[in-house]
Amino acid sequence: MAWNWQHADWPNFAWTQDKLLRAERLFAEGAGIMIGASRHLSPEGRDALVVDVLSSDAVDTSAIEGEVLDRDSVQSSIRRQFGLASDQRKSGAAEAGIAEMMGSLYRSLADPLDQACLCDWHRMLMNGRRDLGTIGPYRTHPDPMRIVSGAVYAPRVHFEAPPSDRVPMEMERFLAWLRNTEVGGAYLQPVTRAGIAHLWFESIHPFEDGNGRIGRAIAEKILSSGTSEPALVPLASTLLTHRKAYYAALEAASRSLEITDWLLWFAAKVIEAQRRSLALVEFTIAKTRLFDRVQGQLNPRQEKAVLRLFAAGPDGFTGGLSAGNYRRITGATTATATRDLADLVALDVLSRTGERKSTRYHLKVPIQPVRPITIADIT
């Protein structure tokens, strides 16, 4: 069976727009709610939210590709990108590179996407790599660009991209489409446009490596350009949760120019990501209110531990905070940890569950879990 770019009508994708109307409406409504909720944040709270979103997105978009990054190092690097106070920890090349790219993405949300921007992102993302022939410019190698899995002697080819000599022309056509569909008569609504752009970019696969991470950044940029105020929709975090289904949906869509099924699947994940983002805004507001309420009542150890719990985000500290975790985070003795934790419970900062070795502590803030969004929810 031919790949999508081998069809005679490539890249004239076809889809049923009526099936996406509710998803577009839900996205627009969610954007309005996000903007309204964000206005309750102080400038410091907004800075913290941006850092949290970009840090999680950077770590999760890398995790989709099987690359495990140090979250604290990424966050520290992103804070430096925005001139904010950081712990000045030394970051690895991969952490510094993805942090620089995410900073560039956020600062250029309102700018048109062009080749120079994409190539800059690739140079940032491939920071420290010595195993690639081309970093920055599009790929030029004569070998087929394939996505494969399985044993070396019996690989399964999930996709094969156009030959390298076609990449400049393909990318020129792709970038022209992006310009033409942003405004004017060829305008496409953001969810549809982001879904097409992500699939199209991945189908071209213009770089030697990093195409998935850059492709998701493109989708997030488009989704943010569809709102009245800059706001990232942390798509990568949601796609990581559905990683296997994500790869399967991309593979299925890469064989046809009729992409309604792909766009519906993608739209459901966009709405889920947007709701996760709103949960993070509400979580950040709760954090501000909690610290305002207990101002001057926490010692440095307690403050450090509570900040570490908040850094885990709305999904919480995995398994809850144990006394052992508290000692490792703060350096406290066993007796001091017991006393500190009891005080935090008394202050209604933490709640306690379990007994003895099973005792765990959780932030006492309202957290609304975000359930998975299916195609049935948006049609």
Asked, for residue 203, whether it belongs to a domain, the answer is yes
Residues annotated as part of the active site: 205
Do 113 and 75 fall into the same domain? yes
Do 309 and 164 fall into the same domain? no
Do 251 and 355 fall into the same domain? no
| pTM of the predicted structure, to 2 decimals | 0.91
Looking only at the bridges linking them, the beta strands covering 146-149 and 156-160 are: antiparallel
Beta strands in 276-370 (DSSP E): 350-353, 360-363
Do 191 and 334 fall into the same domain? no
Q: What percent of the chain has pLDDT above 70?
A: 98
Asked, for residue 288, whether it belongs to a domain, the answer is no
Do 126 and 203 fall into the same domain? yes
Is 246 part of any known ligand binding site? yes
Is 107 part of any known ligand binding site? no
Do 168 and 257 fall into the same domain? yes
> Has residue 1 got a pLDDT over 80?
no
Give the separation between CA 284 and CA 234, rounded to whole angstroms.
Answer: 15
CATH number for the domain that contains residue 244: 1.10.3290.10
pLDDT class of 91 with cuts at 50, 70, 90: confident
> Has residue 185 got a pLDDT over 90?
no
Q: How many domains does the chain have?
A: 2
Do 266 and 320 fall into the same domain? no
**By C-alpha distance, which of 341, 368, 364, 338 is closest to 351?**
364
Do 231 and 340 fall into the same domain? no
Do 207 and 278 fall into the same domain? yes
Asked, for residue 243, whether it belongs to a domain, the answer is yes
Give the separation between CA 61 and CA 41, rounded to whole angstroms.
Answer: 26
Asked, for residue 129, whether it belongs to a domain, the answer is yes
pLDDT class of 216 with cuts at 50, 70, 90: very high
Domain that holds residue 125: 4-282
Is 216 part of any known ligand binding site? yes
> Has residue 197 got a pLDDT over 80?
yes
Specify the 3-state DSSP secondary structure of 155: coil
Do 264 and 304 fall into the same domain? no
Is 138 part of any known ligand binding site? no
Do 325 and 222 fall into the same domain? no
Do 221 and 351 fall into the same domain? no
Is 361 part of any known ligand binding site? no
